[in-house]
Structure 1
């Protein structure tokens, strides 16, 4: 990907500027700036404790940052400053949806019901806050049909349409992960934030996840920001990778650029700062020898 084609520079759906989050004397995120390109899959990676989930919590309104600005630009052309909005407005108006590290499905409800819960707000508005829904008049019936159609679309997309009436808790782990992503997509987001979606998945399930996320980007036009430790997922599907260490950005670029960055290698290997130059020198030697063979 050439610089001129980098959507995170030319057409960002989300721009984070100088984000800092402090908890007392602890600086969890330190002066972080990055963008998510419209239609891109952007990975936010780093060792444990790097501040990745804290960034997600700031973007989605669970935390109010100490300083900084986060601008979300949905497809309707509006601009929302996320640091000023409560979490439910971030989801409803700014069109940002998320999943969590731990699965948070309603295990006793059916798969279909879980996806209808995600569409609770538009259904409540159409029902006149229950009165029109009880009477079955107004636009509620049409809205209800639309919600069911959307839910069935996503069940089909994740390969679970045959289990629509089964309890969500009866699904295997990988299927529950996919259902959680489908539930987030039922809110109609322009930005989907996924917190370690491949955690606990076997290789086959990880491959299915990759296919689903690529389909969400290409067929549904939704931008994706994900936190992930599975490098096969990150390097396999990401357009853009941002790397954090101790709350500070140390790399920002394409998967190839970040994979070869000596600071990233040092962060993941846990080496001291003085060893970074040695790693960089070794990388240069490897690159030079590969160029000589070519």
Structure 2
């Protein structure tokens, strides 16, 4: 299958034109349980893509496959660094048996073949979890510095440069501090940089965790229920942060979220799962009005879904007919039944 994901539940969109991530025919089985069944979708470059569905739909399983916690039973997970990478180059990598390949435009990674630490380090995929996992005893600033540990270790020559405080290490350390302060400013926590992370309110801890992930310079940021437990003000601040990450940092976002207000306000693209299968895929407006999505959330029967779809089609046809009749009237014709009979 090409980068364009085409099926009968998908609305075509720009996410198909230059995807940063392609999940292709993904299946995940646990013994006899099929948690995810033949799932395909794209995450557009520079988009916020929401993965939604009822509890138990398979959303977190998909995240675990993308980030390397699980190895999928079947399917490919393709990460692209570069907007002009062709399907032929992806096929070449697949046939080579390798995990990654450099191209003229950047690089390609097959995440299902990579260990989790390589997905984070090399493919530049960062993740947060449902439960906050900050280092509570460390300061707010230190939590952002620890995310840059690999860069600091490399700059220190794996300790020797740090021991002797060599110029290369000093430069890298200052760069790490500057990056941490940059993100503290954008999450409005610069004034609390020296406080323990555990002392922050819940909403601030959520934003700090996202800022820590951003300190790794990810191309794809995966957020697992970032709005869980937030009050309306904190949800609004989260929305602002995610929109900044998309527009200013240029990072693509894939999020799992149950707060439909957050999803519909900030998402460019929504993918809906139910019992491990994709039931809808498109813009927020497309998904919001999809009878299958409404049925999945309200728990109605398949027959009712078919009836709702038929009613929607009939209503659309009636609206089109009415618009056509109105157009004829505006063009100078008289409605049928009201024309005068000329002698």
State the TM bucket, normalised to the shorter chain.
over 0.9
Question: Counterpart of 2:330?
Answer: none
Question: Counterpart of 2:161?
Answer: 132
Q: 1:100 to 1:285 in 2, by over 3 A?
A: same
Question: Counterpart of 1:257?
Answer: 286
Q: Distance in 1 between matches of 2:18 and 2:271?
A: 17
Is 1:16 paired with 2:45?
no
Alignment of 1:152-231 (within 5 A): 152-231=181-260
Is 1:101 paired with 2:108?
no
- Out of 289, 292, 303, the position equivalent to 1:274 is 303
Question: Counterpart of 1:44?
Answer: 51
Alignment of 1:240-251 (within 5 A): 240-251=269-280
Question: Counterpart of 1:115?
Answer: 144
DSSP-derived class of the 2:81 partner: coil
Is 1:30 paired with 2:59?
no
Deviations 1:177-209 (A, max 9, x none): 000000000000000000000000111111111
Post-superposition, which runs of at least 4 consecutive aligned residues in structure 1 deviate over 2 A? Answer: 3-7, 278-294
8 Å CA contact retained: 1:47, 1:268: yes
| Alpha-carbon offset, residue 281 of structure 1 | 3.9
Question: Counterpart of 2:73?
Answer: 66
Q: Distance in 1 between matches of 2:120 and 2:311?
A: 46
DSSP-derived class of the 1:36 partner: strand
| Alpha-carbon offset, residue 74 of structure 1 | 2.1
Is 1:148 paired with 2:174?
no
DSSP-derived class of the 1:22 partner: strand
Q: 1:73 to 1:246 in 2, by over 3 A?
A: same
| Alpha-carbon offset, residue 280 of structure 1 | 2.2
- Out of 57, 64, 84, the position equivalent to 1:57 is 64
8 Å CA contact retained: 1:14, 1:70: yes
Q: Which moved more, 1:91-100 or 1:126-135?
A: 126-135
Q: 1:126 to 1:22 in 2, by over 3 A?
A: same
Q: Which moved more, 1:194-203 or 1:272-281?
A: 272-281
8 Å CA contact retained: 2:12, 2:282: no
Q: Distance in 2 between matches of 1:235 and 1:155?
A: 27
Size of the aligned set, in residue pairs, is 292
TM-score norm. by structure 1 comes to: 0.95
TM-score norm. by structure 2 comes to: 0.82
The answer for unaligned runs of 5 or more in structure 1 is none
| Alpha-carbon offset, residue 220 of structure 1 | 0.5
The answer for unaligned runs of 5 or more in structure 2 is 1-9, 83-104, 327-343
